[in-house]
Amino acid sequence: MTALLHSAGLVLMIAGTAFLAVAALGVWRLPDLLSRLHVLTKADTAGVALIALGAACLAQSFTATLSLLLCTLLVALSGATTGHLIARDHLDFASSQEDSP
């Protein structure tokens, strides 16, 4: 059981790292701000959640799982909110440019 959880944890963490790597690749390669935000907010949150899940499998303790859950919640919340704020600011700026050429 412990060995199974251990390997499951490793697989989950590798999957999470892959998500984060894809997010980084997207930020590097995608052409404009909105599509970069699109890849960043989603892949980032998923990556952190998967890594936290994997770490919880490895730690196998209730208190550690609780802190990891809190971390994931905060990352998900702040990631989504900052993504929204950056996009909003970008759109505001773009429309102000159109109004006053």
Interaction site with other proteins (CB under 8 A): 70, 74, 77-78, 81, 84-85, 88
Minimal distance, residue 6 CB to other proteins, in Å: 20
| Percent helix, strand and coil across the chain, each to the nearest 5 | 90, 0, 10
Minimal distance, residue 56 CB to other proteins, in Å: 19
Q: Which is nearer to other proteins, 5 or 38 (CB)?
A: 38
φ/ψ of residue 61, rounded to 5: -135, 145
CB-facing half-sphere around the CA of 26: CA atoms within 13 A: 18
Minimal distance, residue 1 CB to other proteins, in Å: 29
Q: Which is nearer to other proteins, 22 or 76 (CB)?
A: 76
Q: What angle is formed at CA 19 by the lines to CA 15 and CA 25, rounded to 5 degrees? A: 140
